[in-house]
Amino acid sequence: MSWLATNYLFAPTLYKLNPDPFSEFTKFLKTPKLDHYCRMNVYEYVGFYVEKNPALKEQATAWVKDMLVFYDDRLETADCCDGYVVAAAIDLACSLGAKDLIPIINKLLCTYLVDFSDCGLTAEVVEGLHRGELLRQEYALDLYERYHRLEEDSNR
């Protein structure tokens, strides 16, 4: 249950601890040799942050664009990113409905180094960008509801 819990609790916990993801997390994501799982969760957190602060969707879109451009020169050498991290960034771009990022996303996906199981194939990503589905129901749950759902999931 602990692995499953991290997916549900990481973003809401970061939201309580750090209400501004764009400054410190940019430094974190650009620091070499850090765990990719922690980096991936930053993108989940930014999605949660925008869900709670919809007025910052445009700022989040610009931020994820900057990160994707940063990753463009680094993906092949796994410098500050890998296919999982880039997939998490692309997934966030889809959630934000960032259609203007299709060229950079397509370029990254065409390297075949991005984890398709996380963000989908190119056609699925483009479809996701057009949908721009940001609302994630698990974020609306309070801590006790979330724990109850985790408990049910782990007992299946």
Distances (CA, A) of 56 to 3, 27, 52, 84: 30, 19, 9, 25
Query: pLDDT band at 3, cuts 50/70/90?
Result: very low
Task: Look at phi and psi of residue 77 and say left if phi exceeds 0, alpha if psi is from -120 to 50, else beta.
Answer: alpha
Domain ranges of the chain: 2-154
- Asked if 54 and 6 touch (Cβ cutoff 8 Å), the reply is no
pLDDT exceeds 60 at position 81: yes
DSSP 56: G
- Asked if 71 and 81 touch (Cβ cutoff 8 Å), the reply is yes
Span between the terminal Cα atoms of the chain, in Å: 11
pLDDT digits (tens, 9 = 90+) for 45-79: 898 888 888 999 999 999 999 999 999 989 998 88
- Asked if 49 and 32 touch (Cβ cutoff 8 Å), the reply is no
pLDDT digits (tens, 9 = 90+) for 109-121: 889 888 876 666 6
Residues 6+ apart with CB under 8 A from 70: 29, 30, 80
